[in-house]
Amino acid sequence: MSRTAKGMSWIKGLALGALVVGAGLGVAAAQSNSIVFTSWGGTTQDAQKKDWAAPFTKKTGIAVKQDGPTDYGKLKAMVESGNVSWDVVDVDGDFAAAAAKDGLLEPIDFNIVKRADLDPRFVTDHAVGSFYYSFVLGFNPASFGEKAPKSWADVFDTKTFPGKRTFYKWSTPGVLEIALLADGVPADKLYPLDLDRAFKKLDTIKKDIVWWGTGAQSQQLLASGEAPIGQFWNGRLFALEQGGTKVGISWEQNLTAADMLVVPKGSKNKEAAMKFLAEATSAEGQASFATDSGYAPINVKSAALMPKDLAASLPDRHTASQINLDMAYWAAHRDEIGKRWYAWQAQ
């Protein structure tokens, strides 16, 4: 076999390899009149698709592709590599604040999104509220008979309310606050968080905790009785009830925060993404999403558009002992708490 012939087959091999790789990239690049919306899946994203994406596509002709679940590592990788395939992403409030600081987000174009209509608690220069939720105490009534747990302290009382308890697995605002409230810390003295005290309190029930990583998982744990009591997103309990499952809810000291919508820096469809944000945060979009999901609207004009009986079940009607999770505190201490949180979980 001659030298050139051998060289040729090398080149052919390389070209073939390049072709395979190139074909993959080509598919990714061939998106024009569409945006990609990424959220957390399940009943929440179904409602976002129905109430925001469908009307948006009808009005603008821009298709909305659904992706998920939200993954902060992926988001960061996309921005760093300059190959951003997500245009609008639903994220936790503390991440939105931290990501804006790290330069991972496009500034919101308030010529397109109407800032004046939005609840000022849930708008920043780089993020607009997606919906506003409460962490509430949820329980399976079948497991406890006559007794109904009311306070966060009851979740830590394994004698009166035996069985596994379930909490949100990731290091985000919520569980540490719940532990402190259960330990008797007054709501107005929560921040800055006393981490030592919170972890000590959590240690008392650590062996009884089953963590939920996704909303769907929390629903499954509660409905099956696997973990008959715990901390839940109010909308997930609402969805369970809508599905015919008997669910107990206590709104005492419910903890509120908003999911935020962000546009990753370098989005190839920035303008379309901003238009989508305008639709998602519009009075109508927020009202119909709230009706379907059980989460509260972040647009102050939405409440008037909603059925009266439904409004009673929303977080914004349970403000008596409501506590706002402090996103500014969390954005500043996210890494430090996260390291300690995961180390504690693994021990």
Partner 1 sequence: MTVIDAATSTPPHAPSASSRRAARGLAAVMPAFALVSVVFVLPVLALLLRSVLEPQPGLQNYEAFFASTTYLKVLANTFLVAGTVTVVTVLLGFPVAWFLAIAPAFWSRLLFAIVILSMWTNLLARTYAWMVLLQRTGVVNRTLMGLGLISEPLPLINNLVGVTIGMTYIMLPFMILPLHATIRAIDPSVFQAAALCGASRWHALTRVFLPLTASGIAAGALMVFVMSLGYFITPALLGGTSNMMLAELIAQLVQSLLDWGLAGAAAVVLLTVTLAIYAVQLRFFGFGRAAG
Of 15 and 328, the one with the shorter C-beta distance to partner 1 is 15
Closer by beta carbon to partner 1, 230 or else 294 = 230
Under 8 Å between Cβ of 98 and 266: no
Using CB under 8 A, which residues numbered 170 to 189 contact partner 1? 170-171
Q: In whole angstroms, give the CA distance from residue 210 to residue 232.
A: 13
Evaluate whether 294 touches 235 at the Cβ level (below 8 Å). yes
Among 125, 203, 271, 335, binds partner 1 (CB under 8 A): 335
User: Exactly one of 200, 225, 242, 271 binds partner 1 (CB under 8 A); which one?
Assistant: 225
Q: How far is CA 118 from CA 82, 130, 213, 248, in A?
A: 31, 11, 30, 31
State in angstroms the smallest separation of the CB of 99 from partner 1. 9
Whole-angstrom CA distances from 166 to 141, 149, 170, 208, 228 are 15, 14, 12, 8, 8
Q: Provide the token pair at 234.
A: 């109010």
Q: Indicate the residue among 66 and 220 with the shorter CB distance to partner 1.
A: 220
Residue 4 phi, psi (nearest 5):
-65, -40
Residue with tokens 């839940």: 232
Q: Does 224 bind partner 1 (CB under 8 A)?
A: yes
Taking CB under 8 A as the criterion, the residue among 63, 148, 205, 210 binding partner 1 is 210
Our finding on whether 16 is near partner 1 (CB under 8 A) is yes
Whole-angstrom CA distances from 40 to 53, 71, 126 are 15, 9, 20
Please tell me whether residue 13 binds partner 1 under the rule CB under 8 A: yes
Task: From residue 304, give the alpha-carbon distance in Å to each of 61, 238, 300.
Answer: 28, 21, 9
Smallest separation (angstroms) from partner 1 to the CB of 224: 5
Least CB distance to partner 1 at residue 285 (A)? 29
End-to-end CA distance of the chain: 63
Task: Verify binding: residue 141, partner 1, rule CB under 8 A.
Answer: no
Q: Which amino acid is at 84?
A: V
One of 4, 14, 259, 329 touching partner 1 (CB under 8 A): 14
Instruction: For tokens 């830590």, name the residue.
Output: 156
Map residues 76-115 to x or -, x wherever contact with partner 1 holds by CB under 8 A.
x---------------------------------------
Window contacting partner 1 (CB under 8 A); options: 123-131, 208-216, 243-251, 307-315: 208-216
Q: Which stretch binds partner 1 (CB under 8 A): 65-73, 149-157, 194-202, 317-325?
A: 65-73
Binding site for partner 1 (CB under 8 A): 1, 6, 9-10, 12-14, 16-18, 20-21, 71-74, 76, 164, 169-171, 210-211, 213, 224-226, 335, 338-339, 342-343, 345-347
